Amino acid sequence: MGLRERKKSETRAALSWAALRLAVERGLDNVRVEDIADAAGVSPRTFNNYFSSKGEAIATHHLDRCLRIAAALRERPAEPLWDAITRAALPQFASPAGAGAPHASDPAKWTAGARMMLAQPALHGELLRAGARAEAEIAAAVADRTGTDLERDLYPHLVASAVMAAINTAMAHHLRGDPPVPADRLLADALVGLAAGLPAP
């Protein structure tokens, strides 16, 4: 990746993280595009060059985290499929906001804010779109590892759908907990369960 592409990727990630953080802290309806741009150190016009809405910016954080799983899965050495998936996925869920993101100073407040934010109908469509794109990338990575055909075979799509279901279920259970169980621990349990019942072809 060249310098220009890297800077664009960093700006996109900074805007997405700022949108997520502010929506959790203030509530989605209390965050303006200008606030997100200011928090990321760019202009509102720059925000609009990357995203069409606050919801898209927030959903992109989830999308990028899942796309990193697909990329990491492609880089894993030869090993059983579900071991590779688990080792690719867990680092992305080591904190409420994902690997590399600043930890919330008050985890309970973060969790409460995330619950409220995710209850907003305005986010649901964006999260579904992000999940569908991530699932397609994970399916392609699974097909490469298993020698299956992405067009003809059900298996890579079934595995990718199961991985996304595990992620979504683990995150929902994490947010329901009082106190929350760490998301990476829940995801590890979910993937172990899937591995036991969905063997490689």
Q: What angle do CA 42, 63, 181 make, to 5 degrees?
A: 105
6: pLDDT confidence band, cut at 50, 70 and 90?
confident
Q: What is the pLDDT of residue 117?
A: 84
CB 156 within 8 A of CB 74: no
Q: What is the pLDDT of residue 95?
A: 63
Tell me how far apart the alpha carbons of residues 92 and 85 are, in angstroms, rounded to a whole number: 12
Using DSSP, state whether 65 is helix, strand or coil. helix
Q: Which residues contact 140 (CB under 8 A, 6 or more apart)?
A: 70, 150, 156
188: pLDDT confidence band, cut at 50, 70 and 90?
very high
Q: Please check the confidence at residue 34 and state whether its pLDDT lies above 50.
A: yes
Torsion of CA 36, 42, 44, 45, to 10 degrees: -150
More confident residue, 100 or 88: 88
Q: What is the pLDDT of residue 105?
A: 57
Q: Which fold has domain 59-197?
A: Tetracycline Repressor; domain 2 (1.10.357)
179: pLDDT confidence band, cut at 50, 70 and 90?
confident
Query: What is the sign, positive or negative, of the torsion defined by CA atoms of 116, 119, 122, 127?
Result: positive
Query: What is the sign, positive or negative, of the torsion defined by CA atoms of 115, 119, 120, 126?
Result: positive
Tell me how far apart the alpha carbons of residues 148 and 158 are, in angstroms, rounded to a whole number: 12
Q: Please check the confidence at residue 171 and state whether its pLDDT lies above 80.
A: yes
Tell me how far apart the alpha carbons of residues 1 and 149 are, in angstroms, rounded to a whole number: 28
State which amino acid sits at residue 71.
A
Render pLDDT for 135-153 as a digit per residue (tens, 0 to 9).
999 999 999 999 999 999 9
Rounded average pLDDT over 107-132: 85
For the chain, what percent of residues have pLDDT higher than 70? 93
Neighbours of 104 (CB within 10 A): 18
Neighbours of 9 (CB within 10 A): 12
